[in-house]
Amino acid sequence: MPFGGRLQTARRIGWTVVADVVLIFTASRIWASADAAMIQNLVTVVFVLMIGAADVAWEMLVEVSREHPA
């Protein structure tokens, strides 16, 4: 696998890892302090997952556009 392929895979996984870390942090803070104010961090989780999905979709669009010249 070329370096570019590994970089793309790492980037795809990276968005999910960032979202998971924020989600684990939020869950642990809610469990430890019973403070529901940390639920606002879930917006960050959703935002990061949406960026990751958009990144993958854009990459797929670029790859398909290379296969079918206009």
pLDDT at 43: 87
Q: What is the pLDDT of residue 16?
A: 85
Query: What is the spatial distance between Cα 58 and Cα 54, in angstroms, rounded to a whole number?
Result: 6
Q: Look up tokens 């970089």; give the residue.
A: 7
Domain boundaries, the chain: 3-67
**pTM of the shown model:** 0.66
For the segment 15-55, what is each residue's pLDDT rounded down to a tens digit? 888 888 988 988 888 888 887 778 888 888 888 888 888 88
Extract the tokens encoding 12: 């795809």
